[in-house]
Amino acid sequence: MLRKATGVLSFDISDGASTAHWSVVLKKGDVLVSRAHDEADCVVTTDRPLFDGIVRGEKNAMAAVLRGEVAVEGDTELLVLFQRVSPGRPSLFAAEKSPSQGGRHE
């Protein structure tokens, strides 16, 4: 099967001289974060400001990968899925229009 909705992402985040490690387990939309050194399907190496930006939804992970600010080894699909579960940045559209105004029309 092509699909890996489940997998382990390993983040190595450099912050000045030190490197922090985080392990993120994605399981069909659920996210578990720990310091554990699980065997990873995807290893992501980046620095602290960018990582924080991606998690807060201020930075786009794909563009950062293309810029070479993030190194990805293994299953890139997992980084895509990780970004999907991170929050988004504020939208002008959201401020103007409440999106859930569906309802019936006549």
Partner 1 sequence: MSEGLVQILDGNTFVVSDSRGDIEASLTDPTGLFSFDTRFLSKWILTLDGERLNPLSVDDLQYFETRFFLVPGTGTVYVDAKLSVIRRRAVGDGFHEELTILNHDDKPVEITVRIEAASDFADLFEVKDALKKQGKYSNSVENGSLRLGYSRETYRRATSISSSAPAIFDETGLTLVAQIEPHGVWTTDLDVVTAVGVGGTYTTPKYHRKGRKARPNMESSLDKWLEDAPRVESDWEPLKSTYRRSLVDLAALRFAPPVMGGHSLPAAGLPWFMTMFGRDSIFTSLQSLPFTPELAATTLLALGDWQGSRLDDFRDEDPGRILHEMRYGEMTAFEERPHSPYYGAADATLLYVVLLDEYERWTGDRKLVRDLEQQARAALAWIDEYADLMGNGYVSYQRRNEETGLENQCWKDSWDSISYSNGEIPGFPRATCELQGYAYDAKVRGARLARLVWKDEAYADRLEHEAADLKRRFNRDFWVEDGEYFALALDKDGRQVDALSSNNGHLLWSGIVDKKKAKAVVANLMGPRLFTGWGIRTLAEGEGRFNPIGYHVGTVWPFDNSFIAWGLRRYGFKDEAAQIAAGILDAAECFEGRLPEAFGGYARSVTKYPVQYPTACSPQAWSTGAPLLLLRTMLGLEPLGEHLVIDPALPQGIGRLELLDIPGRWGRIDAFGRGRVHVGARGSRRQLGLAEELMPKQKRKNGKKARVTA
Residues forming the site for partner 1 (CB under 8 A): 2-3, 5, 29, 45, 57, 60, 62-63, 66-71, 75-77, 80-81, 83-85, 87-89, 91-94, 99-102, 104-106
**Closer by beta carbon to partner 1, 39 or else 106:** 106
Q: Which helix (H) or strand (E) holds 82?
A: helix 76-85
**Closer by beta carbon to partner 1, 21 or else 29:** 29
**Please, what is the minimum distance in Å from the beta carbon of residue 8 to partner 1?**
16
**Please, what is the minimum distance in Å from the beta carbon of residue 32 to partner 1?**
18
User: Per the structure block, which two tokens stand in for 65?
Assistant: 């990968």
User: Per the structure block, which two tokens stand in for 58?
Assistant: 């201020």
